[in-house]
Chain A
Amino acid sequence: MSKILKTRIGSYSYSVEDAQKAFLKEKIIEIGFIDGIKYFDRKSKKEIKGEQK
């Protein structure tokens, strides 16, 4: 039996394994911003927009 929890809520599925992969590269996230409107990833210098993928 897999150790990975796989669940489905609505049309989304998720697993601990997927989350582990996603967060593996993101242990420390540095964000720069000016006035609380625009936020930028300091590494890539790209704006972090909305809450979309």
Chain B
Amino acid sequence: MSAKEYKFLSTVKVANDVATKYPNYKINGFTPKTLAKRLISSNSEKGSMKDFGFEYKTIPLNPIQKLFVVQEVVVFGDDIRNITVLFDKQIAEEYTLTYSKKVYKGVCNSRGEEIHFDKCTSYGEIYELALANQDSLEFMVKLNELDITSKELYHV
């Protein structure tokens, strides 16, 4: 079994004074590792191991199933330029919002008025504004979601 297949990972921290607190740990055939296992598997009374100097934290290991692709898509044409790929949707949306503001900065509409992309607070908002003003843009920044088990690419 490789580590990447684990669904959970527990990190058990052993206190410096564990030997003083629990010198007779071997009586029941324990080793430090089996004690740690007992702790995280909840086979010990809740909190009792903490008295002996053990603390732990368990985190789920979520396998990556989706990728978020930031792209520049040319408005009049078929060209697509990949900017970056991210794993987390929230981070991807924040990144795309920041990136969009940077590249749309100073763009004006057909009446010569500046389009205030800088006032957008979410990716959805800036994308809608870009969509409404696409005639003024050379390209649009899009965030697409790719399920790595599928061949399809979805717009977020």
A38 to B5, CA, bound (A): 12
A32 to B40, CA, bound (A): 10
User: With A29-B32, A34-B5, A39-B37 given, is the CB distance from A14 to B26 under 8 Å?
Assistant: yes
Chain A residues with Cβ under 8 A from B10's Cβ? 30-33
Q: Beta-carbon contacts of A1-41 to B below 8 Å, as 1s and 0s? A: 00001010110101111111011001111111111101111
Chain A residues with Cβ under 8 A from B48's Cβ? none
The residue among A17, A35, A48 with the most chain B CB atoms within 10 A of its own CB is A48
- A contact residues, total (Cβ < 8 Å): 36
**By the criterion CB–CB under 8 Å, are B32 and A22 in contact?**
yes
Chain B residues with Cβ under 8 A from A23's Cβ? 14, 18-19, 32
Is the C-beta of B119 less than 8 angstroms from some C-beta in chain A? no
B52 to chain A, nearest CB (A): 10
**By the criterion CB–CB under 8 Å, are B6 and A19 in contact?**
no
Is the C-beta of B62 less than 8 angstroms from some C-beta in chain A? no
**By the criterion CB–CB under 8 Å, are A28 and B11 in contact?**
yes
**By the criterion CB–CB under 8 Å, are B25 and A19 in contact?**
yes
Is the C-beta of B29 less than 8 angstroms from some C-beta in chain A? yes
B151 to chain A, nearest CB (A): 29
**By the criterion CB–CB under 8 Å, are A29 and B33 in contact?**
yes
Is the C-beta of B154 less than 8 angstroms from some C-beta in chain A? no
User: With A33-B7, A35-B7, A48-B37 given, is the CB distance from A26 to B24 under 8 Å?
Assistant: no
Interface set of A (CB-CB < 8 Å, partner B): 5, 7, 9-10, 12, 14-20, 22-23, 26-36, 38-42, 45, 48, 50-53
* 19 residue pairs A–B, Cβ–Cβ below 8 Å: A7-B24, A9-B24, A12-B27, A14-B23, A15-B23, A22-B19, A22-B26, A23-B18, A26-B32, A27-B14, A28-B13, A29-B11, A31-B33, A31-B37, A32-B10, A34-B6, A40-B1, A45-B2, A51-B37
The 3 closest A-B pairs by CB, nearest first: A32-B6, A19-B19, A26-B32
